[in-house]
Structure 1
Amino acid sequence: MPVTEKSVKEVYTALLPQTMVVADLGCSSGPNALVFVSNVINAIAEHSRNDFNQLFRSLEQFKRSAEMDRNGDTLPPYYVSGLPDSYYVRLFPRQSVHLFHSSYCLHWRSQVPEGLEGKREVYLNGENMYIAKNTPPSVVKLFQEQFRKDFSLFLRLRHEELAFGGQMVLTFLGRKDEDVYSGDLNHLFGLLSQSLQSLVVEGLVEEEKVSSFNLPAYGPSVGDVTALVKESGAFEIAHIKLFEQNWDP
């Protein structure tokens, strides 16, 4: 069964067929063939289940919950739509949105910073997947430039889509001081890098794959964010606050 599930997921991921045709070339005289088909269907259902699909399956429950919260009062007319695309592209008509909300997303970049792989496949960030104490300043600059490029683009796109007088509420991971080498993301991803290195030592992962792996992420400081918002000239910051998380369970 694990081999079958793996094959199903690989085919589904690679081809994304609108209709998936599965043939059982057996000689079953009982329910064996149906068990196989059931396994295939369940594997596809499990693999294709994601937050986006789950969100829309929850709409009926959301409606009932909202009506209960109103104690029988009529809700204002509303409808929900989904746009499966990147927030680093235009999503909405000009001046059509009154409030944007983003939670735990904007520390992710649109791509891994370009230039992390040098000549003759020399990987400039070594065994790190993010900024660590031994990351060269030139590599740090690549991460910072990717953040500057992405966040500036995000602000410009949302400014075009936001109605006059509208607002945005944005929450994302960052760092509490200006030292780019310190912060929760540096620590967290440093631990993950060490974990991958242990897999290399055990021969479970190729060293080259780990060396070439970098995360499309950047945790900015409050100063980083403030500077880019001011530079954009598109928004005024009504409120900005740093919240500290306790990672100790």
Structure 2
Amino acid sequence: MTIAETGPIVLVGAGNMGGAMLAGWLKSGVPGASVLVVDPGPAPAMAALIAENGARHVTAAPEGLEAGVLFIAVKPQVVDQVLPPLKGLVGPHTVVVSVAAGKTLANLESHLGEAAMVRAMPNTPAMVGRGVTGAFANARTTAAQRGTVDGLLKVSGPVEWVESEADIDAVTALSGSGPAYVFYLVECMAEAGRKLGLPADLAMRLARETVSGAGELLHQSPDDAGRLRQNVTSPGGTTAAALAVLMAEDGMQPLFDKAVAAARKRAEELAG
């Protein structure tokens, strides 16, 4: 199903995530004229992107319009205030897509009524086209609608569809929050280097480039992470000495198990 067949894309929220999605859509060939942005005050750069590509911008939901795709990209704290005025945009052929963390499909339906709905969880690397998104579609979503949504989400990176809405909480804990874990890994590596005597700024540069480079190698290589780890680990060498600590019974795996479980629990709490 093409965008022309679905009707207009109504993007609610043009902040970091909504703006990244819009930029990706336009870059991928979605006609600007098919996009309506609802935002009370987009940043100057976003306002310019909208204007330069022929998209439309309004500060509040218009009347008499049925969205083909209603894309909700606002912070979860304001969803309950933002959604009620949008109900008139939802018609029998509309698919609602929400990237608001922790807001369930039941919550969306309480404001918008019954409709085809997709709950999605992208992560912040979407802002540079290197994100990954977990998504769940309700039973009212047709195969064609799911295909349309898949195409819209893929502009920021791969999309992984899950079979249960509850799995979105696990996706949130793993990949949604995951970039922060990686950034903290860089901080820890840099601090360890500083404690070994390196200047703090040098230690940070080394840690930052090591992690970003390793990520790019993982992205480009057909080998899985375990094989790449083995490839860089010489028996009895320096890497093996470090991994003996990190892979010990009380090393990184149990710590990550605990951390990701805590994130999922919090996601479940936020979802109600």
TM-score bracket, normalised by the shorter chain, equals under 0.3
- Normalised by the length of structure 1, the TM-score is 0.28
- Normalised by the length of structure 2, the TM-score is 0.26
Rg larger in 1 or in 2? 1
Higher fraction of helix: 2
Answer 1 or 2: higher relative contact order, Cα 8 Å, separation at least 6: 1
